[in-house]
A and B are shown apart, each in its own frame.
Chain A
Amino acid sequence: MGLKIVVLAKQVPDTRNVGKDAMKADGTVNRAALPAIFNPEDLNALEQALRLKEKYEGSTVTILTMGPGRAAEIIREGMYRGADNGFLLTDRAFAGSDTLATSYALSKAIEYIGKFDVIVCGRQAIDGDTAQVGPQVAEKLNLPQITYAENIVSAENGKIVVVRRLERGVETVSGPMPMVVTVNSTAPECRPRNARRLMQFKHARTITERQESNDDYVAMYSERPYLNIQEITALDIKGDAAQLGLSGSPTKVKTIENIVFQAKESKILGTSDDEIDELMKELITNHTIG
């Protein structure tokens, strides 16, 4: 019996290579100016899912992403790397969601899609850095969670064993499945996109994407059902409108400040033995080293 694994993945603006126009005047992220990418730690999570799939025959890996229509690209990216299928959770009703509303919608979507043994996601997304969505999804599904995972060692006989990366070392923990696992960037990098899978799945489309483009390959979608990426709406997940989108988001951004880092406390270091000795003692005392 294989595992049913779902990977929660997010399309994010690539904040790692920001240029001058990365922020708008009002202090929010200028999403148009930054390339949209697969959230890096979600890729680490996907790799963990794919390793489980390889280890336990008959397992399936499903990508679930919430976002606008173009976030379907994340699902295709996942398929090129080895995911079996994916769902795009998309609806205007989700607009303005904070982490609470997002995890509510995701948890309802997971319930809608079906039962899973492992729900895995990146620790946090590089656009918000909250690390809240994974744990909140677990709470809403009333499932146990293991955070900061670096390696999912095994997932069999109803039990999952995970190595966690902590500040000063690693610990190995186990717990019952279904389990929510959030994965760190210290976990192995995700495998590259596979050339053949890319050619197999590059035509995968949501119904909206197919309506928007004049795709010539109409027959393909009935002959190859795996090319249909399913869209899920607020209606499908039977969500409580008050808990979705802006109305379900208690987080309010008060102000955003632009901060330019400046060296304020620079000091000149001497090269005599005494001065170096002094410096070493200082660094050890304030735990910079040691």
Chain B
Amino acid sequence: MANFYLDNPDLRFHLSHPLMQKIVALKERNFSEKDNFDYAPMDFEDAMDSYNQVLEIVGEICGDIISPNAESVDHDGPALIDGRVEYAAGTKVNIDALVKAGLMGITLPRKYNGLNFPIVPYIMAADLVSRADCGFVNIWGLQDCAETIHEFANEEQKAHYLTRVSGGETMAMDLTEPDAGSDLQAVMLKATYSEADGIWYLNGVKRFITNGDGDISLVLARSESGTLDGRGLSMFIYDKQKGGVTVRRIENKMGIKGSPTCELVFKNAPAELVGDRKMGLIKYVMALMNGARLGIAAQSVGVSESAYRESLSYAKERKQFGKAIIEFPGVYEMLTKMKAKLDASRTLLYETSRFVDMYKTYMHIAEERTLTKDEREEMKKYQKLADIYTPLAKGLSSEYCNQNAYDAVQIHGGSGFMKDYPVERIYRDARITSIYEGTTQLQVVAAIRGVTTGGYLAQMREYEMMEIKPELLPIRRKLIVMTEEYDHIVQRIIKTKDNELIDFHARRLVEMAGNIIMGYLLMLDTNRDERFRRSTEVFVSQGKSENHQRFEFIENFSIDELSNYKWV
């Protein structure tokens, strides 16, 4: 009887951001589809009402079905039967409910039977499903691989595969191999073109593949024999109906145990090339990963939400020394910080989603007609922002998710260490978020560009110029001080032109930028809704002192000290 959307007004708040007006109008091509599809919106209000009501369905399924199943799914896990994955019973029920509710292919165009929703409501659905079951969201959320087919495949492939995704078939992205994890240039799975059959065949092994036995898989493979680097790799679609791939093993993991992580053996598996040869890693995987990273950011925020909620209700109920433990400073501070981190990562998540929506929608419009000069510039602006915000959102929200899960167990005390409460599962599930789809360390490698090129700084200045209520001015003053401190230390580091030193401080600098950006976003949220005031004040105060600590460290760091940290 729970509805995870209706019980969380924060989501509705983020859905109603002012930029949605433009995003929806672009996505709906000025509401031109209403004559061809009776489920297309008539206008902006109609579209928003649809997102809202559909999210209500998602919230209901999460509260009534997915969340209650989470414990048994974690316990049972998937099984390997004759080289195929058999989902846990609860997982099957979850998938069935979401398919019947028509919640597959959410962002795909209507001509492929999709709902044509922007990224924002889709990510919100992922946020909800993650709160219900962190592991399950992987199976459902892999539908965003379809976006890569939509972007780069030919029309015939789109019509064939995207329609199937909308119909409920699951997906997988087969990238990792035993010797190619973070370094995908080392992928060795062989793709051979047979002139006789006019078709590609795949041979080799993939490892750590989430939902590896999904219906439709995107596979990164070496199409150019004799090459050793990323330029010899191409992207393929493998259709499970064709056969040729077996699951050799399902990994036994610490968390997200309901999500089957597979080792796959390809034996002459027929496959279709996506887009151009040799562009597999350079172009398509980058697009695929950016989508997946946003998905992990959503997953992290959803898990943070569940960690926070479990802790809040426990801290209110649990009595020690004659009062509820939430009344003790050691506990309430933890809870307040959890909520502040949750709100901060969520506002960054939706800001990033809006940026992605803006540029991707323009990109698709550009396939239909020539963009005007202004539109092209706007697309470029948002693409740049999406590129620097995506690793920031993924990196920081997954770290916050882990911190919140840690504190959630702590608040539960001894009980939290037992299997009796959900926080134990949440703690294990959270751990993967800062590892897969690029570790936090790799997100920092991607995000540092936003520091060195001034991308984050420009955006901070933009937030600074926005009109706010007078009572928020003290918060803005703090953020301005933080920005100056950040700018100062960034300039100092850049001037050294020492790449190793930049890399060494990269995480600190990215986190400083993150604190300022999330601080601004929270301030702007509070400007629209008082609900976020507490989190804003707490986050900015905490962030200011954290940033200062980093500033101190970097400011006083002598290049000679670097050797203290090295092992070889």
- Restricting to A180-215, which residues have a CB under 8 Å from any CB of B? 191-200, 202
Q: Is the beta-carbon distance between A194 and B100 smaller than 8 angstroms? A: yes
With A16-B1, A192-B60 given, is the CB distance from A198 to B53 under 8 Å? Answer: yes
Q: Are A200 and B39 in contact (CB under 8 A)?
A: yes
Q: Residue A271 at the B interface, CB < 8 A?
A: no
**Do A193 and B101 contact each other (CB < 8 Å), given the known contacts A16-B1, A202-B49?**
yes
In the complex the two chains form, is A199's CB within 8 Å of B100's CB?
Answer: no
Determine whether the beta carbon of A192 is less than 8 Å from that of B1.
no
Per DSSP, chain B at the interface is loop
Shortest CB distance A33–B (Å): 17
Q: Cβ of A192 and Cβ of B57 under 8 Å apart? A: yes
| Chain A residue nearest to B65 in the complex (CB) | A192
Question: CA separation between A18 and B91, bound complex, in Å?
Answer: 32
For residue B103, CB closer than 8 A to chain A, the reply is: yes
Interface membership of A224, Cβ < 8 A:
yes
Bound-complex Cα distance A196 to B102 (A): 6
What residues of chain B lie closer than 8 Å to A200, measured between beta carbons?
Answer: 38-39
Chain A residues near B49: list those with CB within 8 A. Answer: 202
A17 at interface by CB-CB < 8 Å: yes
Give the number of residues in A that approach B within 8 Å (Cβ atoms): 17
Partner of B54, one of A17, A195, A217, A220: A195
Q: How far is the CB of A114 from chain B (nearest CB, A)?
A: 25
Asked whether A196 lies within 8 Å of B39 as measured between CB atoms, the reply is yes
- On chain B, the residues within 8 Å of A191 by CB distance are 97, 100-101
Q: How many angstroms between the C-alpha atoms of A17 and B2 in the bound complex?
A: 11
Tell me if B42 and A199 are in contact (CB < 8 A).
Answer: no
Q: Is the CB of A194 within 8 A of B50?
A: no
Question: A28 → chain B, closest Cβ, in Å?
Answer: 24
B1 engages A17 (CB within 8 Å): yes
What separation, in Å, do the CA atoms of A216 and B43 have in the docked complex? 10
Say which residue of B41, B43, B115 sits within 8 Å of A195 (CB atoms).
Answer: B115
Q: Output the least CB separation between B7 and chain A (Å).
A: 13
Note all chain B residues with C-beta closer than 8 A to A17: 1
Question: A17-B1, A198-B50, A202-B53 in contact; A192/B100 too (CB < 8 A)?
Answer: yes
Distance, CA A220 to CA B34, complexed state (A): 10
Query: Could you tell me if B100 and A195 are in contact, using CB atoms closer than 8 angstroms?
Result: no
A interface footprint on B58-94 (CB within 8 Å = 1, 0 otherwise): 0011000000000000000000000000000000000
B106 CB contacts on chain A under 8 angstroms: 195
A202 and B97 contacting across the interface, CB-CB below 8 Å: no
**In chain B between 468 and 490, which residues have their CB closer than 8 angstroms to a CB of chain A?**
none
Interchain CA distance A192-B96 in the complex, whole Å? 10
CB-defined contacts of B53 to chain A, threshold 8 Å: 198, 202
The complex places the Cα of A92 from the Cα of B267 at a distance, in Å, of 72
Given A17-B1, A199-B50: A194 in contact with B38 (beta carbons within 8 A): no
**Chain A residues near B42 (CB-CB < 8 A):** 216-217, 220
CB contacts (< 8 Å) of B1 on chain A: these are: 16-17
20 contacts between A and B (CB under 8 A): A16-B1, A191-B97, A191-B100, A191-B101, A192-B57, A192-B97, A194-B100, A194-B101, A194-B102, A195-B54, A195-B101, A195-B106, A198-B53, A198-B54, A199-B41, A199-B115, A200-B38, A200-B39, A216-B42, A224-B38
Which residues in A have some Cβ–Cβ distance to B below 8 Å? 16-17, 191-200, 202, 216-217, 220, 224
Residues on B facing A (Cβ under 8 Å): 1, 38-43, 49-50, 53-54, 57, 60-61, 97, 100-103, 106, 115
